[in-house]
Amino acid sequence: MFMSLIYTSLFISSIGIFMLLSKKHILSILIGIELFLNGINLFFITICKSFSDDIANIFILFILVITACEVAIGLAIFLLNQRINKTIDINSLDRLRDN
C-alpha cells in the first residue's frame, strides 16, 4: 500500500515532467507543472502518514498556495503573449535569444 502509493506519486510526477518538457501548447506545459506538483503532494501525504504529527497538512497547504499563485501569473502571461504573438506555441517566447 505504501509502496504502491509512492510509485503512483512518482509516476504522476514523471508524467508531469514529460508534459512539461515535450508539449508545444503553453497550457499543456502549465498542466504538466500542476500534475507534477500534485504528484509531489501525494508523495508527501504518504510519507507523513508514517509519523505521528500532522505535518503533512502544513506542507501541502503551502505547496498549494505556491501552485495557485504560479498558475495565476502563468496564465496571465500566457494570455498577454497570445495577444501579442497571436500564437500559443512555446517557441514564441524567445526574446532572450542572442544569436
Partner 1 sequence: MIEVLIYLFCLLSIGTALTTCLSSKIIRSTFFFGITLFLIAFIFIVVGSNLLGVVQILLYTGGTLILFLFSIFLTGDWDYNNLGETFHKPVSSVLIAFFFFLTTSYLITTSEIFIKLEDKFNINKIVSTQDISVSLFNDWIFILELSSILLLATIVGCLTLLKFRKEID
Partner 2 sequence: MNKSIIILSLLPIFITYLISFFNFKKLELETLNYIVPTIIYSSLLFILFSIPNINSLSIPFLTINGNDINLIFDYIDKNLLMSKVVLIISTLVLIYSSKFIEGEERRSHSRYFLFLSVFISSMFIFTISSDLFSSFIFWELLGLSSYFLIGFWNKDSEAIKSSTIAFWITRFGDLFFLAGIILIFTTAGTLDINNLNQIASNSNLDIKFPLLFIVIGIFSKSAQFPFNIWLPKAMKGPTPVSSLIHSATMVVAGVLLLFKIYPLISTSIGLLNLLTTIGIISSFIGAIAAFYEEDLKKILAYSTISHIGLMFLAIGISKPDLAYFHMFSHSFFKSLLFLFAGIVIMLNGTSKLENLDSSIKLKSTMGAILIIACCSLSSIYFFTGSFSKEYIIFSMIDDGLYIEGLIILFGVIFTSLYSAKILFTLIDFNPKNESLDKIDLKFIGPLLILAILSLSGPLTMSIFNKSIEITKVPHSILWILALQILTFSTFYIYLKTKDIINEKLYNFRSLSDSLFVTDKIYLEIYDKVFKSTSIFIAWFDRNILDGLINFIPFRIIYTSKKLMGLQNGQAKLYAVRSIIFFILLILLIIVTSDELIIGALK
Distance CA 44, CA 42 (A): 5
Q: Answer yes or no whether residue 71 interacts with partner 2 by CB under 8 A.
A: no
Q: Which of 19, 29, 37, 60 binds partner 2 (CB under 8 A)?
A: 29
Residues of span 13-32 touching partner 1 by CB under 8 A: 13-19, 21-25, 27-28, 30-32
Q: Answer yes or no whether residue 93 interacts with partner 2 by CB under 8 A.
A: yes
Q: Which does 42 bind (CB under 5 to 8 A by kind): partner 2, partner 1, none?
A: partner 1
Distance CA 28, CA 15 (A): 12
Nearest alpha-carbon partner for 34 in 55, 12, 56, 58: 12
7 within 8 A of 71, measured Cβ to Cβ: no
Query: Of 50 and 99, which has the nearer Cβ to partner 1?
Result: 50
